[in-house]
Amino acid sequence: MASVTLQGNAMNTNGDLPAVGSAAPDFSLVNGDLQDVRLADFSGRKRLLNIVPSLDTPTCAISTRKFNEYADEHSNTVVLIVSADLPFAQGRFCTGESLSNVVPLSMMRSRAFARDYGVLLTDGPLAGITARAVVVIDGDGTVLYTQLVPEIADEPDYEAALAALS
């Protein structure tokens, strides 16, 4: 279990992020066409998981825009945006922001992803959705980098995450 804060108020996650060097847990999330998508669907490419509580918050929107810019110039990397938002809301956000280089994925059918990645908030006002985190995975499925952002309202460390992709 890890602790994060929301505007200084402590909350706990159900566990810890996968260890660097370990195999990334596979998952099944829902895309904009309501199809199940797995981590393995992107094998052979580097994967950056931008895990956010909801795209309907300023910090989540900023991080998604920044990672979209990176993905535009790096075709060997797929940026997966994981949130509890419904695929319809994710699609509206990405269309409205002209974000075509990220893949939004929803936890609408299950919280297994959040539990397996150790980011499920177990208490506080956001219990049941994810803490903010970044996980970088290589083409073979090995975890290269993780960051659990200590304050949910803060942005992740973009430089460190993008350096892990190099």
Count, residues in the chain: 166
In 3D space, the residue among 36, 62, 64, 34 whose CA is nearest the CA of residue 49 turns out to be: 64
What is the C-alpha separation between 153 and 51, in angstroms, rounded?
A: 13
Residues in Cβ contact with 7 at an 8 Å cutoff, skipping those fewer than 6 apart: 151, 153
> Of 17, 48, 60, 131, which is the active-site residue?
60
Round to whole Å and give the CA distance between 156 and 25: 21
Residue 129 identity (one-letter amino acid): I
Beta bridge partners of 6: 9
| 60 belongs to the catalytic site | yes
**Residue 108's CB: how many other CB atoms inside 10 A?**
17
The helix (H) or strand (E) run that includes residue 106 is: strand 102-106
By annotation, the residues acting in catalysis are 60
